[in-house]
């Protein structure tokens, strides 16, 4: 286990951004103190060739202009909040409208575009990067002074993301990570031929604002009984595929009756990504607007379906869609979330 630290660059405000490079026998991952971004993640394919399997940029300037949330921690809320407002204890909170008339990913100045305090620890078997930041009461309209801690724990072929938010007043929190994966390696191909299986009971249909509206019934869109190639879903004429610009941008309801919550497999490279989470939902997003990104790592033109996200989280737009399931956090009840990604390859 090895960790090296360097300066990645400076923000427009002149803040220094640290880069942490962690190497094990099975993976190599680079994490930035800006947004907690997973900038690169290298794993071997079935022939032992080490290649990068995530999307990112080479400069701070591009990250600060990034509208695709490459690799970052998002919050205080993951996904959209309809009408950019909610009510807690008879108090209405108005949020930034940064996705039409809705709020997305915590607003304009969320957790994704700030420099976090960062430290690391390393032993023979594990390494951890600890990120901390403070969000004052009513930042982006959300209640509560919040002390956030996010820890990346790396062991062999696993990356665990451990989230915590400690508040001084009743509030709502729902964080996730927004890394785009592509198991082909070095972005050689798009994700269409990669196979996905979710241990899920079903999915939530969305409207034209990508807000959940009801439990989906059509197994032509998603069947919990089998794995499918992304290609079959993303190139179909299903209304739920078309409504999000051709692909998935949907919450899937995890059944929680097996150890693994889902996996993605690339037959050509032999790479497999499994994930385990304590959250009830994973939003699968298939890069339906990545063709609007000019360049990735300065070598690749952005293109549709170049990567997929596994956004493990609570129920999206919960105040409007499922208010009976709202989880609120208090000084006595901190926010906690944990997700583990496991990487392997086989012939």
Q: Which residues are catalytic?
A: 178, 311
Best CA proximity match to 173, nearest among 189, 197, 149? 149
β-partners of residue 196 are 228, 264
Give, for 1, the enclosing helix (H) or strand (E).
Answer: none
Q: Classify 124 as helix, strand or coil.
A: coil
Q: What is the distance between the alpha carbons of residues 262 and 264, in angstroms, rounded to a whole number?
A: 7
Taking a C-beta distance cutoff of 8 angstroms, is the pair 142, 169 a contact?
A: no
Taking a C-beta distance cutoff of 8 angstroms, is the pair 284, 234 a contact?
A: no
Q: Classify 324 as helix, strand or coil.
A: helix
Best CA proximity match to 268, nearest among 1, 53, 34? 53
Distance between terminal CA atoms of the chain? 26
Token pair for residue 127? 């390494």
The conformational region for residue 79 under phi > 0 = left, psi -120 to 50 = alpha, else beta, is left
Taking a C-beta distance cutoff of 8 angstroms, is the pair 297, 56 a contact?
A: yes
Q: What is the distance between the alpha carbons of residues 98 and 93, in angstroms, rounded to a whole number?
A: 15
């Amino acid at each position: 286990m090895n960790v090296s630290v360097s300066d990645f660059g400076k923000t427009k405000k002149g803040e220094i951004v640290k880069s942490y490079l962690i190497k094990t026998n099975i993976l190599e991952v680079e994490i930035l103190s800006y947004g907690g971004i997973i900038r690169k993640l290298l794993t071997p394919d079935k022939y032992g060739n080490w290649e990068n399997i995530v999307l990112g940029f080479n400069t701070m300037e591009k990250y600060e202009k990034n509208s695709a949330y490459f690799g970052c921690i998002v919050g205080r809320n993951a996904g959209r909040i309809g009408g950019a407002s909610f009510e807690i204890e008879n108090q209405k909170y108005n949020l930034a409208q940064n996705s039409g008339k809705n709020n997305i990913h915590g607003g304009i100045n969320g957790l994704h575009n700030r420099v976090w305090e960062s430290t690391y620890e390393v032993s023979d078997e594990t390494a951890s990067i600890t990120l901390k930041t403070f969000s004052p009461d009513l930042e982006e309209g959300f209640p509560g002074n919040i002390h956030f801690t996010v820890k990346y724990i790396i062991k062999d072929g696993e990356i665990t993301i451990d989230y915590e938010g400690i508040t001084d007043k009743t509030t709502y929190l729902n964080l996730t990570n927004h890394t785009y994966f592509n198991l082909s390696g070095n972005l050689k191909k798009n994700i269409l031929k990669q196979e996905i299986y979710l241990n899920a009971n079903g999915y939530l249909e969305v409207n034209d604002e990508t807000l959940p509206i009801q439990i989906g019934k059509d197994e032509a869109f998603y069947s919990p009984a089998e794995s499918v190639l992304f290609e079959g879903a993303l190139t179909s004429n299903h209304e739920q595929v078309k409504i999000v610009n051709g692909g998935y941008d949907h919450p899937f309801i995890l059944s929680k009756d097996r150890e693994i919550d889902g996996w993605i497999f690339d037959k050509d490279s032999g790479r497999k990504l499994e994930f385990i989470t304590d959250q009830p939902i994973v939003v699968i997003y298939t890069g339906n607007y990545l063709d609007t990104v000019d360049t990735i790592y300065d070598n690749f033109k952005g293109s549709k379906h170049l990567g997929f996200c596994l956004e493990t989280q609570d129920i999206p737009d919960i105040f409007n869609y499922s208010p009976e399931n709202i989880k609120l956090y208090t000084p006595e009840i901190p926010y906690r979330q944990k997700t583990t990604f496991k990487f392997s390859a086989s012939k």
